[in-house]
Structure 1
Amino acid sequence: MSGKHYKGPEVSCCIKYFIFGFNVIFWFLGIAFLGIGLWAWNEKFSVFLGIIFFLELTAGVLAFVFKDWIKDQLYFFINNNIRAYRDDIDLQNLIDFTQEYWQCCGAFGADDWNLNIYFNCTDSNASRERCGVPFSCCTKDPAEDVINTQCGYDARQKPEVDQQIVIYTKGCVPQFEKWLQDNLTIVAGIFIGIALLQIFGICLAQNLVSDIEAVRASW
């Protein structure tokens, strides 16, 4: 993966906007979690749920403070997966599914496959897949019923304009970021829904405690 792809202004901008929006949600929920966690602790019950709330709040703070570290870890994770593409069949299937689903190739572009010993474009590479990409990078023809597993051969030896006809040239990270932007409301709704379920669970637990104490008091 080249430094040019990783430090591209468009990708960095998308990541920053995503992290900012994600942390707004975390901070909003974190304040509520803090109050509910303290309440649960003072009631001598639901301590475990209170701890979970504190951990979620801590995760949100750490995600904001160490966002650059998280981005670096994602960078290395994707690189390692591309390098090990032929070494693990499960990993291979996961990468193929991701590239087909997001209609992308590599982390930030098709040239990321130079990291793999079978697909790199070096002169010493004797593989038939040299300077190519996996079949999951290929654009799909709806009329084809059988997958052509050799469709990515020599794809990156062509000019970029011609590559766009044969393979996906956008990276999976930018495609995923675009999906998050397009579905930000859904993503936020899922997190808020999970938080509400947790709050509802604590309320039920506290009501149960109150009922038990009322029964004991009547003895």
Structure 2
Amino acid sequence: MGEFNEKTTCGTVCLKYLLFVFNCCFWLAGLAVMAVGIWTLALKSDYISLLASGTYLAPAYILGVSSRDGGVCAQRQLTVPYFILLLLIFLLEVIAGILAYIYYQQLNAELKEHLKDTMTKRYHQPGHEGVTSAVDKLQQEFRCCGSNNSHDWRDSEWIRSGQAGGRVVPDSCCKTVVTGCGQRDHASNIYKVEGGCITKLETFIQEHLRIIGAVGVGIACVQLFGMIFTCCLYKSLKLEHY
């Protein structure tokens, strides 16, 4: 009987150390997850106003929430709530990965359906300053003009209203931006990119969705080991108790 207890105690100590190592690794991974979430929300969300839905941000919010984890639980009564905490975080990470994958699949259709209308109907319109800023940044950063091509701007309410000052495209379409440069839409003056900004924006968002999805699913897989360690530790502590 004494030999059995000694083996059980040794196994329990090993499990506690394994769980401690797991927690250290997962804490570091949690920081990485939080960094990805903050990076998406704070630095890469400039173009959210150009999208019809907020699904793109949902995985980032979930990653930020689920990046917090508890410490090592060395007592039997704490292993059950700790396991539940791990399970909830695991489910959140999986949901983030699934949302990223779903939005990845529907992104092309959404952009084709809504991006042109957003750019032509809201650019330089009252109350849509965020869209104006996002469009200018999009066209300059990705060196493109219009949703599909520069001709899209012929349907712009801003251009048609006469408030554009003779411009046929926004100044942000120009290769060298100066005030009023959008009055000439020759290829030597503005960006004439095949596929327009829609292709550039789609590629940009898809790259970030791949990162978000991979991080979410990857951390969820790692958490499975934590839940296994927790279950084993609970059983070991239960044997010692009895």
Q: Normalized against structure 2, the TM-score is what?
A: 0.50
Task: Look up the match of 1:144.
Answer: none
Q: Does 1:169 align with 2:205?
A: no
The letter for the 1-side match of 2:239 is A
Q: Does 1:81 align with 2:118?
A: yes
Task: Look up the match of 2:157.
Answer: 117
Q: What does 1:31-180 align with in structure 2 at a 5 Å threshold?
A: 46-48=86-88, 49-50=90-91, 53=94, 56-57=97-98, 60=101, 67=106, 70-82=107-119, 83-87=121-125, 88-120=128-160, 125-130=161-166, 132-140=168-176, 147-153=177-183, 155-156=184-185, 163-170=186-193, 171-176=196-201
Question: Distance between the aligned counterparts of 2:162 and 2:102, measured in 1?
Answer: 49
Task: Look up the match of 1:208.
Answer: 230
1:85-141, Cα deviation, whole Å (9 max, x unpaired) = 112111111111111110001111111112321224xxxx4334445111111103x
Task: Look up the match of 1:7.
Answer: none
Give 1:73 shift: 2.5
1:46-101, Cα deviation, whole Å (9 max, x unpaired) = 5432475377458747865xx5xx54422232123211011211111111111111
Q: Is the 8 A contact 1:99 1:105 kept in 2?
A: yes
Change (3 A) 1:129 1:118: farther
Change (3 A) 1:84 1:150: same
Q: Is the 8 A contact 2:112 2:198 kept in 1?
A: no
Give 1:190 shift: 6.5
Task: Look up the match of 1:24.
Answer: none
Structure 1 unaligned blocks of 5 or more = 1-43, 141-146, 157-162
Instruction: Between the two structures, name the one with larger relative contact order (CA 8 Å, sep ≥ 6).
Output: 2
The letter for the 2-side match of 1:216 is K
Change (3 A) 1:129 1:52: same
Change (3 A) 1:173 1:79: closer
Q: Normalized against structure 1, the TM-score is what?
A: 0.55
The letter for the 1-side match of 2:189 is V
Give 1:188 shift: 5.5
Task: Look up the match of 2:39.
Answer: none
Q: Is the 8 A contact 1:114 1:131 kept in 2?
A: no
Structure 2 unaligned blocks of 5 or more = 1-82
Identity of aligned residues (%): 16
C-alpha RMSD of matched pairs (Å):
3.5
| Greater gyration radius | 2
* 1:152 aligned counterpart, secondary structure: helix
1:145-199, Cα deviation, whole Å (9 max, x unpaired) = xx5231112x24xxxxxx111111221123346779xx97x98577445422221
The letter for the 2-side match of 1:172 is C
Give 1:204 shift: 1.8
Q: Is the 8 A contact 1:79 1:115 kept in 2?
A: no
Change (3 A) 1:91 1:176: closer
Change (3 A) 1:72 1:126: same
